[in-house]
Structure 1
Amino acid sequence: MSLQKRTLEAFKLLGVEELPEDWVGRCWEENFCENSPLPSQVREDVLSVRTWRAVVDVCRKWLTATADGGGSASQDSETEEPGPGLWTTLVECGVSHRALLALIFSILDRNSQSVEEVGRSVCAAQTYLCLLRLPGSTAFKTFQPIIFQKALNVVYVLSGTRAGRGEGRGRGGEGGRGRRGEGGRKG
């Protein structure tokens, strides 16, 4: 199966096209600064870590394809002709980049308490960071400072450099590792 087909399948699972336009517009108008809870009509499978992992996997394949082939997914398609990039594929499939970013923001903006919520946040952060690295992301205004900060916060928490270990930003030297990263505790 071509990368374009896998992309269509993975992103359709997110149900981005079903998100209310007014909700998406509100997220963008507020520059992702206000808490915008997910609309009630969001399907349960959209919140599944399995769904988000499928999207992350596809995004990673696009990163590999662009690194190997300069922006297209030709090595993964059934023919040898160059294929379109991720953003072209999403546009052709009717996946709104604005709705996708609003969904990612909403997932990252939730207080992740359960293992499922944390897993979903990690996948949403990975998706966002992958999207930023793909050619064309600038044209679609993918970089949004608030979403970027929320994605980085997920990474920080996972790496234990923030509240997870009680070590705040700016303490403990390079990388927030402090004395633990230097080979042991010092008295």
Structure 2
Amino acid sequence: MSGSEVAVVIPVHNNGKTIGGILQQVLAEFPLVVCVDDGSTDESVAEIEKTSAGLIKIPTRHGYSSALQTGIEFALQNPRVRYLATVDERYDLRNLPEMLDKLKDDEDLDIVLGSRFARHPNERDLIMKAVTWFVNYRTKTKLTDLTRMRVFTREFGESLLSANLGADLEILEKIGANKWRYTESQL
């Protein structure tokens, strides 16, 4: 998969200690990266500016979903972008190419969501099981985990622009309500 057809969107808020390493990993594989700084008060912006990643600065904090939507909107202005990815710094970013390959290889898929429990759903603790059950019930999905590691098609990204994303839950609700085709990939 050509890295130029993939845009990686990274919402940032006070991630100055970790964003440099994250960008180093992601940029090694994907040249189109846009960071949306959501009013950071630490060295996040300075760390991003040391790299070739694009940077959008939101001067005051509006939240993860607003930063995500801003990044997706910006990335979709590039007509070559066919796939988008969002990353979650808590998980191994080396999984991102595999997730993208899974999406590209199956034209019936619209989105691949990262999961720590895709292979072993019984390893979750009781609280995580309860939260996941509630989210699945509310969104009409059958997920094993809730992470922000996602890859999706341009069409799915465009559908998010018409939404007023207030939380990650709304992305999952959009999947269930609109019958977007999804799968999970082990993180």
TM-score (norm 1): 0.23
Q: Which has the larger helix fraction?
A: 1
Q: When you count strand as a share of all residues, which structure comes out higher?
A: 2
TM-score norm. by structure 2 comes to: 0.23
